[in-house]
């Protein structure tokens, strides 16, 4: 008799011995770990960047170019990653992404020039393609539509916590070692994700004979063992829908606005406001902690009031906070206040746009749609890095760049305003009850 694997034993324990615990929560925990490591790497760049460019004798435009190398590979490859997630399953795609991510981050610790930094961070961006779209897709498949906001909120605490930890730990790493060790530690953590995902990740509930968590309809789901979900629509059908382009346009604008402040806020505090590194880096901790507050409140709220209303409200709050940084963010206390304000809504922004894919498009196409939206986000982030870096190098201050961020955040509201309202939790439950109600005409 062959020994059962640890994963199989865990599946059996959760599914048979304690049926109240759904495997969806194992998936959610695994995705949380993925985001924690991935966003410690991705958002941690803004924390490492001031020391990194100082020792390598680079400018702010160079710093933006390094991040843009990451974003370039990320936005080019992510649409394919979303398609591969739908075709070959999230477990394979995420595990491969962790391998490439780990290699790229270790390379970052060895760089000696701008060229080497750009190449290394481009490899990091390639690996990161397996750490967002597939993760966002698989979580939405494991939870019922009226529970996706809750699930995404819990999962998204991972990237806020990752950013917060980097802001708190990095000054200690610099004091005792150097900025290079931050990359070494993160690279090792990324490689460890390969084993976590290979052991615990499952691409869909149907593959192990389960329903999405929160789905009330009592039906027996056959165990297919199949990690893939076959799309019922083509990408051309997606492109024909105006809602795809409207949400994409809003996504572009808000990404531009948010990355324009997040990537450069530590540098702004240290070199324009002349704050010590510990205080400047602590902005990342404030940012990360406030993100957690946002994702645990705003994303679950979207299940009840609908994605569109949530996005409009969130973007309006971001616009106001960015205006506050521009006008009053020249002291430590006010800058910290407005950075925290932005972060509350920053944390919810990217998953809530991703959740729109599950509301406005068939579930079989979620990975493909989220991947197809990524170029809007990526081009927005790339544009803001170059423009912000160029304006800072040319003028010596961030004022003009921050003003553009405010305008772009406001434009994101305009685009989303033209989107037709999607279903809310109450509408979904009403439809479910109506379908389950016996028909008087048939006497059923």
Question: 53-95: per-residue pLDDT in tens?
Answer: 889 998 888 888 898 899 889 888 988 887 788 788 888 999 9
Neighbouring CB atoms inside 10 A of 356's CB total 26
Query: Which pLDDT score is estimated for 191?
Result: 96
- Given CA atoms 164, 355, 418, 371 in this order, what sign does their dihedral have? positive
Cβ contacts of 172 within 8 Å, gap of 6 or more: none
Q: What is the mean pLDDT of the chain?
A: 81
What pLDDT score was predicted for residue 89?
83
Domains of the chain: 14-436 (1.20.1250.20)
pLDDT, one tens digit per residue, over 133-162 is: 888 888 888 887 777 778 888 887 877 777
2-11 mean pLDDT: 50
Give the model's pLDDT for residue 141. Answer: 84
pTM of the predicted model, to two decimals?
Answer: 0.69
- pLDDT of amino acid 232: 52
Point out the least confidently predicted range of 69-83, 157-171, 387-401: 157-171
Lowest mean pLDDT across 173-187, 279-293, 354-368: 354-368
Q: What is the mean pLDDT of residues 390-410?
A: 93
pLDDT score at 322: 95
Q: Of 96-110, 191-205, 329-343, which gets the smallest average pLDDT?
A: 191-205
Bridge partners (DSSP) of residue 143 are 213
């Amino acid at each position: 008799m062959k020994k059962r694997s640890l994963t199989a034993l865990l599946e059996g324990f959760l599914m048979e011995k304690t049926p109240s615990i759904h495997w969806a929560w194992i998936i959610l925990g695994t995705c949380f770990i993925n985001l924690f490591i991935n966003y410690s790497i991705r958002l941690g760049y803004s924390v490492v960047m001031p020391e990194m460019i100082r020792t390598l004798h680079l400018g702010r435009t160079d710093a933006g170019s390094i991040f843009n190398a990451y974003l370039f590979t990320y936005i080019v490859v992510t649409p394919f990653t979303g398609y591969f997630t739908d075709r070959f399953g999230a477990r394979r795609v995420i595990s491969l992404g962790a391998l490439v991510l780990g290699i790229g981050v270790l390379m970052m610790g060895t760089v000696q020039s701008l060229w080497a930094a750009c190449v290394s961070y481009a490899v990091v961006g390639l690996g990161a393609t397996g750490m967002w779209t597939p993760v966002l897709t698989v979580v939405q498949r494991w939870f019922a539509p009226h529970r996706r906001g809750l699930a995404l909120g819990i999962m998204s605490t991972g990237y806020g916590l990752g950013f917060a930890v980097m802001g708190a730990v990095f000054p200690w790493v610099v004091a005792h070692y150097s900025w290079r060790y931050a990359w070494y530690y993160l690279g090792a953590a990324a490689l460890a994700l390969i084993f976590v995902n290979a052991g615990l990740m499952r691409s869909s509930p149907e593959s192990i004979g389960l329903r999405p968590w929160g789905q009330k309809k009592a039906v027996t789901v056959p165990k297919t063992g199949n990690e893939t979900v076959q799309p019922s629509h083509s990408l051309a059908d997606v492109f024909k829908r105006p809602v795809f382009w409207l949400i994409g346009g809003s996504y572009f604008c808000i990404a531009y606005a948010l990355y324009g402040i997040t990537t450069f806020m530590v540098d702004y505090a240290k070199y324009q406001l002349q704050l010590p590194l510990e205080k400047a880096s602590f902005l990342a901790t404030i940012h990360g902690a406030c993100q957690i507050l946002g994702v645990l409140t705003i994303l679950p709220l979207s299940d009840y009031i609908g994605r569109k209303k949530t996005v409009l409200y969130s973007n309006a709050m971001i616009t106001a906070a960015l205006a506050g940084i521009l006008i009053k963010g020249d002291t430590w206390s006010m800058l910290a206040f407005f950075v925290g304000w932005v972060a509350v809504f920053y944390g919810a922004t990217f998953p809530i746009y991703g959740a729109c894919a599950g509301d406005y498009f068939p579930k079989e196409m979620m990975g493909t749609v989220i991947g197809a939206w990524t170029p809007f986000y990526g081009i927005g982030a790339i544009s803001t890095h170059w423009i912000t870096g160029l304006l800072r190098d040319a003028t010596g201050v961030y004022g003009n760049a921050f003003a553009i961020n405010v305008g772009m955040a406001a434009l994101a509201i305009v685009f989303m305003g033209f989107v037709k309202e999607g279903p809310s939790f109450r509408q979904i439950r009403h439809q479910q009850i109506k379908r389950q109600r016996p028909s008087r005409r048939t006497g059923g």
